[in-house]
A = this chain, B = another copy of it.
Amino acid sequence: MVYITRRERFNAAHKLWVKSWSREKNLEVFGKCANANWHGHNYDLFVTVKGIPDPLTGFIVDVKKLSKIIKNVIIEQLDHKNLNIDVPFIPEDMQPTTENLVMLIWEQLSPNIEGCELHCIKLYETENIFAEYYGE
C-alpha cells in the first residue's frame, strides 16, 4: 500500500459566529475570528489517497486527474468565496472551522475518488494551525 498526496490551494473569507448567541458571547468565544465583516485565509489543502501502484504505469492514481477532481469538486466551490455564505455544501448553521472543513471536504471528495481510496484530508488555515481527518 502506497500513499500519494496532492496539494491544492484556495483563498477564502469566513467568520465564526453562532447566530443564537449575543455579539458579546460570540466575541468572548471566538475573539477576533468573530469580526462582523469577516476576515480570510490562504488555505493549503493536502489530499492523500492510497492504493497499489499499477504495474505498467507506476500510478496509484493519475495525479493530474486527481488534481482535476479536487479542483472541480472542492476548489471551484471554495476559492475566492465566503465560506459562511457562498458554499452550498457548508450547512448554514455549521461554523466554517478548519475542523469542520476537513470533514465536509472528505464527504464531497470521497464519492468522486475512483481506482484508489481516500485516506486523509489535511487543511492548513495558517502556517501554525492545521486539521486532519481520516474518514472516521
Interchain CB contact under 8 A, B6 and A128: yes
Interface residues of A in 27-49 (CB under 8 A from B): 29-33, 35, 37-42, 48
The total of chain A residues at the interface (CB under 8 A) is 62
Q: Check A53/B13 contact, CB under 8 A, given A1-B134, A2-B132, A136-B1.
A: no
Complex Cα distance, B96 from A129, in Å, reads 26
How many copies altogether? 6
Q: Is A94 positioned at the interface, with any CB of B under 8 Å from its CB?
A: yes
Interface residues of A in 87-120 (CB under 8 A from B): 94-100, 102-103
Between-chain CB contacts (< 8 Å), 7 pairs: A5-B131, A7-B127, A11-B41, A13-B37, A35-B86, A53-B100, A58-B100
